[in-house]
Amino acid sequence: MAMHQFQAEVNQLLQLIIHSMYSHREIFLRELVSNASDAIDKLKYLSVSDDAYKTISFDPVIAIGFDAEAGTLTIADNGVGMDETDLVENLGTIARSGTRRFIEAMAEDKRKDSNLIGRFGVGFYASYMVSDDVTVTTRKAGQDSAWVWKSDGKGSYDIEPGTRDGHGTTLVLRMNDDGREFLSRWRLEELVKKYSNHVAYPIRLSYDEDEYDDKGKKKGSKIHKDEQINSAQALWRRPKSELKDEDYVEFYKNIADSDEEPLLWTHTKAEGTIEYTTLFYIPSKAPFDLYHADYKPGVKLYVRRVFITDDDKELLPVYLRFVRGVVDSEDLPLNVSREILQQNRVMNSIRTASVKKILSEFKDLSTANKDKYASFITEFNRPLKEGLYGDFANREALMELVRFKSSQAEGWTSFADYKSRMKDDQKAIYFIAGDSEDRLRKSPLLEMYRKQGVEVLICPDEIDELVMPMVGKYGELELKAVNRAGAEKEFEDKPDEQKAKDLAPAIERIKKALGDEVKDVRLSARLTESPSCIVVDADDPSLQLQQFMKSMGRAGDFDVKPILEVNGDHALVMRLAASDDEAMAADVARVLLDQALLVEGAPLKDPADFVARMNRLIG
């Protein structure tokens, strides 16, 4: 017998799962059945794609048994099985880089969301919510030797040679006091039907039942029964006419490891030159790892009902990574590789049609149920904007789906909504982008538009700085950023030439005081209340985009100076114009720039200097 220590992350996971998720302990069975199904999937694939496995018998079944007196629960499968190395790698170590994020999420999540377990592939450890120790006996397909893994989940585990008839894996859980509620035929059958009814392989429950005589009296003997307790059908292959909403919801909860109902789903069977079936779900809440580079894809690929992969990010575009579901092709080869998938004509056709179908469903939802669509947008607006940036073929459809906040309207606004409310003489769609909706709504850049009654789209997502300029137009209407020089020309009041002449010396003094910190200083036509604001030239990157690029290590490529605009009617500017005090003029110039930068969310180079200048001006 060899003793091993759990990897540090495994110990942390065990503590979090055991102590933080007590109220969700029933999901342990869902996770263990899912693992058994995955093991059978792998063997099924090998048995048709690898000559070394084609002679191995394949009669898939997942067996569940219990002994209430002994306090044990057994879950067995005849899947691919494991050898000693597999046991160490799969049960003693977690290699996925997302594990650290899972630990952090579990520590922070006040709801202790049970869905996180399945999403991060660490479901085996849910066993320890209901058991004092777990014994795993396993034999890898094609090998003669078996192995036994055992642990109480308290820091270490043992591995030793064992015996097992045939390939596969058997788990024996010695249930703790809380876990004994699951040592019941009725409870186990209830949980299998709730979580695993549509697992594609038979799940059989073995149990002993009291024997009764003709008068209903116990005879003191037991009858052994072995019954299939799930439907074991590939739901997506069944005709839609046979399926109820409850069937779709139940299947979603199984494949998505979720207790929540999906927002919507679409089930398609394509026949003709290319035959395939798809069943796609949109979650009601965004997946936890939606914005992680190592996100787990949510679509499983089957070929003629043979599971191929659930870890390929090419099945749908990255911006649709929140979609869950199944693609089952009749035409792909069973030995299709990831490289082949990326270039395969059949897969490209399925992908293209699937994207159009999904976007069409979003469009239908946006018109049929605006409240439900608002819930969808709250969760997935940003990924759709990523699609605007990267999916040129579907850009027109995506333009109708993305939403924005507005300077005038409540809730979400589409480009079409904005267009319907435009002033008769308006020639463009105006927007303001930044990192905070609240800050953008208070921006001095909106003052002129508010005065003129012109609507401005509020764009607080980081990606808006890239997407909006790249999109450029909605139909014939140009998209104009209000923080760019010249955007105000359409609505500015007729310039007061005398005022401009009177303030010209003051503008020159500000330029001199700020030197090369700004590209230019101008008298503003857009300010009505604030003393100053900053804008950029039409072809220069905005301040927010510059900050984003700096965070990506590309500061040298985007070091562009802003243009300072000042309000000639503001007391601070008028004070500077009326005084010959150069020291005071330098303080005013510096404060005008720093205030404008602060409003835009930019950090000050020297906060202490800003405070000192403000104090001198107040004094």
Report how far residue 343's alpha carbon sits from residue 338's, in angstroms, rounded to the nearest whole number: 9
Q: Are residues 47 and 160 in the same domain?
A: yes
Q: Contacts from 12-18 at CB under 8 Å and sequence distance 24+?
A: 12/103, 13/94, 13/99, 13/102, 13/103, 13/106, 13/122, 13/125, 14/125, 14/128, 14/153, 16/103, 16/106, 16/107, 17/106, 17/117, 17/122, 17/125, 17/126, 17/128, 17/129, 18/128, 18/129, 18/153
Report how far residue 221's alpha carbon sits from residue 213's, in angstroms, rounded to the nearest whole number: 10
Q: Are residues 240 and 301 in the same domain?
A: yes
The answer to whether position 541 is within a domain reads yes
Q: What is the CA radius of gyration of the chain?
A: 32
Tally the residues of the chain: 619
Q: What is the pLDDT of residues 536-557, one digit of tens each?
A: 887 777 776 766 666 666 555 5
Q: What is the pLDDT of residues 413-450, one digit of tens each?
A: 999 999 999 998 899 999 999 888 999 999 999 999 99
What one-character-per-residue DSSP string does 554-607 give? -GGGG--PPEEEE-TTSHHHHHHHH---HHHHHHHHHHHHHHHHHHTTPPPS-H
- Say if residue 211 is exposed, middle or buried (CB neighbours under 10 Å; 0-12, 13-18, 19+): exposed
Structural domain range at position 186: 2-228
* pLDDT value of position 30: 84
Report how far residue 120's alpha carbon sits from residue 304's, in angstroms, rounded to the nearest whole number: 27
The answer to whether position 245 is within a domain reads yes
> pLDDT-based confidence at 97, cuts 50/70/90?
very low
* pLDDT value of position 494: 67
Helix axes 370-390, 464-471, angle to 10 degrees: 80
Report how far residue 443's alpha carbon sits from residue 596's, in angstroms, rounded to the nearest whole number: 9
Q: Is the pLDDT confidence value at 499 over 70? A: yes
* pLDDT value of position 476: 92
Dihedral over Cα of 192, 193, 196, 202: its sign: positive
Assigned token pair, 164:
């097992």
Beta-ladder partners of 156 = 5
Q: Are residues 474 and 587 in the same domain?
A: no
> pLDDT-based confidence at 502, cuts 50/70/90?
confident
The answer to whether position 113 is within a domain reads yes
- Give the CATH number for residue 473: 3.40.50.11260
Q: Is the pLDDT confidence value at 64 over 80? A: yes
Q: b/e per residue, 341-362, with b = 16+ CB within 10 A?
A: beebebbebbbeebbeebbeeb
What one-character-per-residue DSSP string does 380-440 give? HHHHHHHHHHH-GGGHHHHHHH--BEESSSSS-B-HHHHHHH--TT--EEEEEE-S-HHHH
Q: Are residues 64 and 192 in contact, defined by beta-carbon separation less than 8 angstroms?
A: yes
Three-class secondary structure of residue 23 per DSSP: helix
Q: Is the pLDDT confidence value at 601 over 90? A: no
> Which of 202, 228, 254 is at the close of a domain?
228
Residue type, 479: L
Mean pLDDT of 182-202: 89
Q: Are residues 38 and 110 in the same domain?
A: yes
Q: Are residues 177 and 314 in the same domain?
A: no
Report how far residue 106's alpha carbon sits from residue 531's, in angstroms, rounded to the nearest whole number: 47
Q: Are residues 172 and 72 in the same domain?
A: yes
> Which of 352, 368, 384 is at the close of a domain?
368
The answer to whether position 219 is within a domain reads yes
Q: b/e per residue, 189-207, with b = 16+ CB within 10 A?
A: bebbebbbbbbbbebbbeb
Assigned token pair, 604:
């000050």
Assigned token pair, 225:
């029964």
Q: Are residues 220 and 255 in the same domain?
A: no
Tell me, what DSSP letter sits at residue 336?
-
Q: Is the pLDDT confidence value at 207 over 70? A: yes
Report how far residue 579's alpha carbon sits from residue 584's, in angstroms, rounded to the nearest whole number: 8
- Say if residue 569 is exposed, middle or buried (CB neighbours under 10 Å; 0-12, 13-18, 19+): middle
> Which of 368, 383, 407 is at the close of a domain?
368
Query: Which position has the token pair 């850009």?
Result: 395
Q: What is the pLDDT of residues 547-590, one digit of tens each?
A: 666 666 655 555 678 899 999 999 889 988 888 888 888 899 99
> pLDDT-based confidence at 112, cuts 50/70/90?
very low
Q: What are the backbone dihedrals phi and psi of residue 532, each rounded to the nearest 5 degrees, phi first? A: -160, 165
Residue 475 gets the label, from left (phi > 0), alpha (psi -120 to 50) or beta, of left
Q: Are residues 602 and 612 in contact, defined by beta-carbon separation less than 8 angstroms?
A: no
- Give the CATH number for residue 31: 3.30.565.10
Q: Are residues 429 and 480 in contact, defined by beta-carbon separation less than 8 angstroms?
A: yes
Mean pLDDT of 73-78: 98
Q: What is the pLDDT of residues 393-403, one digit of tens each?
A: 999 999 999 99
Q: Are residues 108 and 173 in the same domain?
A: yes
Assigned token pair, 322:
């929140």
- Give the CATH number for residue 588: 1.20.120.790
For residue 345, the surrounding DSSP H or E stretch is helix 345-368
Q: Is the pLDDT confidence value at 98 over 50? A: no
Alpha carbon of 221 to those of 185, 340, 471, 515, 590: distances in Å? Answer: 17, 59, 76, 98, 94
Q: Are residues 19 and 58 in the same domain?
A: yes
- Give the CATH number for residue 279: 3.30.230.80
Q: Are residues 234 and 41 in contact, defined by beta-carbon separation less than 8 angstroms?
A: no
Q: Are residues 156 and 8 in the same domain?
A: yes
> pLDDT-based confidence at 94, cuts 50/70/90?
low
Residues 6+ apart with CB under 8 A from 4: 88, 92, 156, 157, 158, 159
Q: How far apart are the first and last CA of the chain?
A: 82
Q: Are residues 158 and 114 in the same domain?
A: yes
Least confident span in 171-185, 208-222, 538-552:
538-552
Summary mean pLDDT of the chain? 87
Report how far residue 189's alpha carbon sits from residue 204's, in angstroms, rounded to the nearest whole number: 10
* pLDDT value of position 576: 87
The answer to whether position 292 is within a domain reads yes
Beta-ladder partners of 150 = 135, 158
Three-class secondary structure of residue 484 per DSSP: strand
What one-character-per-residue DSSP string does 37-78 give? HHHHHHHHHHHHH-GGGTTS-----EEEEEETTTTEEEEEE-
Q: Is the pLDDT confidence value at 215 over 90? A: no
* pLDDT value of position 114: 47
Q: Look up the pTM and report it.
A: 0.72
The residue with greater pLDDT, 150 or 122, is 150
Three-class secondary structure of residue 355 per DSSP: helix
Strand locations in 310-374 (E):
324-329
Assigned token pair, 355:
């994207």
Q: Is the pLDDT confidence value at 493 over 80? A: no
The answer to whether position 151 is within a domain reads yes
Dihedral over Cα of 217, 221, 223, 224: its sign: positive
What one-character-per-residue DSSP string does 179-245 give? GGGG-SHHHHHHHHHHHSTT-SS-EEEEEEEEEE-TTS-EEEEEEEEEEE-S----GGGS-GGG--H
* pLDDT value of position 308: 82
Q: Are residues 54 and 158 in the same domain?
A: yes
Count of the separate structural domains present in the chain? 4
Q: Nearest CA to 507 among 571, 574, 561?
A: 574
